[in-house]
Structure 1
Amino acid sequence: MKSEFPLLDLCHFNEHTQVIVSRFGVFLKKFKKTTFPRRHDFYHMVLFTEGSGKFSIDYQTYSIKPFQFYFMAPGQIHDWHFEGNIDGYIINFPAQFFQSFLLNANYLDQFYFFNGNVQDCIIQVPEELRWTVVELIEKAILETLGDNKFKNDTVRVLLLLLFMEISNLDGRNRLSFVEPNKNALRQNFEKLIDENYLSLRLPKQYAELLHITPNHLNKLCNEMVGISAGDLIRNRIILEAKRLLINLKLTVTEIAYKLNFEDSSYFCKLFKKQTGMTPNAFRKHHNLHIH
């Protein structure tokens, strides 16, 4: 099915670069006509240093605060609405930017803020770390503007140092480092959900594909993500439902069928249970917000 949101690649912003590191004000002036809401097929980070307003990721809205860092994985939907002067930094790079540099192609998966869970995507940078964070980003900006033969590698190193500094703020990442097998298993489960959520709805079906027991899968999800395997599956279905509900040409019944529900009333009950509102209420609220 076709998404109702534009999926932008890095070429939309600059077809001749592998990475973008920029002051936010400069970036906004250059790409102020970019469509919102939107999705990217690359990693997208925004650090606000001043200003206010609202920032939403996958339909969850937050108030912008100075030195708030937003980390977004490929595919996530985001939107922003600013109040007054806004400034900070923006960083964009595709997954392969680090894959060609590191022996471990999945190295970035070790940082919890890239896991795609919205509650882990937003980090308030404490005062004692702000100078270090800004210095690393400013150095990366200078490298992208220079002609150093190794500038992309230098930017990679600076960004990795930045990610490590941010990750050290929270112990949640440690599990990924000491138990890489568990992390890989969780990632494989989430990839399988993305590929099969229209047809496979039960944890035991995914457990079979992963060659583990349903109990093992559920324990893993609760330990690493904080919710059950069933909730991870249901959350992915509901996220796709939200994306479809923005399209006013589709009825709720048609959306239910697109998501492989035989009974639209069951779809409505599940949606309300997971979100606290009916599909029509969600549609009305978010379309009013967008338009």
Structure 2
Amino acid sequence: MSIIPESPSRLRLTPISRLAAGGRWRVEAMRSLREPVLLWFTQGQGRITIAGTQRGYGPNNAIFIPPGVMHGFDFAPRVQGTVVFFGRDHGLDLPQTPQYLRPRDPISQKELIATLEAIQRELESNRAGSQKAAQHHLGLLGVWLDRQLEREKQLESMAQPRPGAAQRLVARYSSLLERDFRSNRAVADYAEALGITPTHLTRACKAACGKGAHQLLEDRILFEARRLLAETRMPIKDVAEMLGFNSAGYFTRAFQKSAGQTPSAFRKRPAGPAVPRI
């Protein structure tokens, strides 16, 4: 059974506010991308959960998320910034783990802003070689990331402590969940694979990100359900089957409890503004 790709394999930039144009579930529910992404927040604040660990974000925060890593963040109208979708064919040597960056000096902030503006300018240009130029500027963005990471290492002794046992455990759970969330496995199955009890796993999840293990699992499954309903014409019974539900009826009840409407009603709702696929 084929699935429409979640995102095209090309470089693109979009305002963070547009990510929620098709519904706040697009940013707040747990999901993962098949490409790296950089979130650059310029206004507003909230909480972001990445690989099962929750942290705060605010103005002048840059957050890099590698492909295949579950994440979601609180969204409010005042939250502004830019998201960079690197595309799956970016050809860069990028970090393999999530990175929270807080460029403290104005020079670093201006460098990032100038690079993002240059990428956007080339992407919107009709001049010969504009795509090639945009990719070169993306390479400079990779250099900026490397420099910021080096500075973060220098300040590591004064930064937040190393992840605790609960955070490491939830990161492992999130990785397993991202791999197997379509398999109809229950929280108890994941806990067994991790060598712990479901109660221990739930406590660790709540300590790390404020959500229980079952909530994280349900959130990830129902985000994928919304995505498939919104972006494909796949029959609802096939969506249910793909996500591991025993029947379309059970899927409908679970979806309605979470989204407040049936899958068919969700699919028929007004489309609203065009939304970048994530």
- Same fold, TM exceeding 0.5? yes
Q: 1:286 to 1:194 in 2, by over 3 A?
A: farther
Q: TM-score, normalised by structure 1?
A: 0.54
What does residue range 1-291 of structure 1 map to in structure 2 within 5 Å?
A: 1-9=1-9, 12-13=10-11, 41-47=34-40, 73-74=66-67, 90=84, 92=86, 97-99=93-95, 108-109=97-98, 111=100, 131=106, 134-137=109-112, 154-160=143-149, 174=160, 177-179=162-164, 181-247=165-231, 249-285=233-269, 287-290=271-274
> d(CA) in 1 for partners of 2:256 and 2:219?
12
> d(CA) in 1 for partners of 2:182 and 2:85?
33
In the TM superposition, residue 201 of structure 1 has moved relative to its aligned partner by 3.2
8 Å CA contact 1:45, 1:72 repeated in 2: yes
Q: 1:182 to 1:71 in 2, by over 3 A?
A: same
Supply the AA of the counterpart residue of 1:74.
Answer: P
In the TM superposition, residue 215 of structure 1 has moved relative to its aligned partner by 1.3
8 Å CA contact 2:184, 2:245 repeated in 1: no
Supply the AA of the counterpart residue of 1:97.
Answer: D
Q: 1:6 to 1:199 in 2, by over 3 A?
A: closer
8 Å CA contact 1:137, 1:158 repeated in 2: no
Overall identity of the aligned pairs, in % = 22
8 Å CA contact 2:40, 2:83 repeated in 1: yes
Query: 1:249 aligns to what SS in structure 2?
Result: coil
In the TM superposition, residue 287 of structure 1 has moved relative to its aligned partner by 3.6
> d(CA) in 2 for partners of 1:248 and 1:91?
21
**Count of matched residue positions in the alignment of Structure 1 and Structure 2:** 213
> d(CA) in 2 for partners of 1:268 and 1:155?
46
> d(CA) in 2 for partners of 1:222 and 1:77?
15
In the TM superposition, residue 228 of structure 1 has moved relative to its aligned partner by 0.7
8 Å CA contact 1:189, 1:206 repeated in 2: yes
> d(CA) in 1 for partners of 2:167 and 2:241?
34
Q: Which has the higher strand share?
A: 1
Of residues 129-138 and 86-95 in structure 1, the stretch that sits farther from structure 2 once superposed is: 86-95
Question: CA offsets per residue over residues 112-163 of structure 1, 9 Å max, x none?
Answer: x9xxxxxxxxxxx9xx968355234268789x99x9xxx7985343332687
In the TM superposition, residue 6 of structure 1 has moved relative to its aligned partner by 4.7
> d(CA) in 2 for partners of 1:88 and 1:198?
31
8 Å CA contact 2:112, 2:144 repeated in 1: no
Of residues 128-137 and 272-281 in structure 1, the stretch that sits farther from structure 2 once superposed is: 128-137
Question: CA offsets per residue over residues 217-267 of structure 1, 9 Å max, x none?
Answer: 111111112111011111111112112212553222232122222222221
In the TM superposition, residue 187 of structure 1 has moved relative to its aligned partner by 1.8
Which consecutive residues of structure 2, in runs of 5 or more, have no partner in the other structure?
16-31, 44-58, 73-79, 119-132, 154-158
> d(CA) in 2 for partners of 1:97 and 1:218?
35
Supply the AA of the counterpart residue of 1:109.
Answer: P
Query: 1:3 aligns to what SS in structure 2?
Result: coil
* Structure of greater relative contact order (alpha carbons < 8 Å, 6+ residues apart): 2
Q: 1:6 to 1:228 in 2, by over 3 A?
A: closer
8 Å CA contact 2:6, 2:34 repeated in 1: no
> d(CA) in 2 for partners of 1:265 and 1:158?
52
> d(CA) in 1 for partners of 2:71 and 2:251?
22
> d(CA) in 1 for partners of 2:270 and 2:149?
36
Of residues 88-97 and 151-160 in structure 1, the stretch that sits farther from structure 2 once superposed is: 88-97
In the TM superposition, residue 2 of structure 1 has moved relative to its aligned partner by 3.5
> d(CA) in 2 for partners of 1:152 and 1:67?
16
> d(CA) in 1 for partners of 2:190 and 2:223?
19
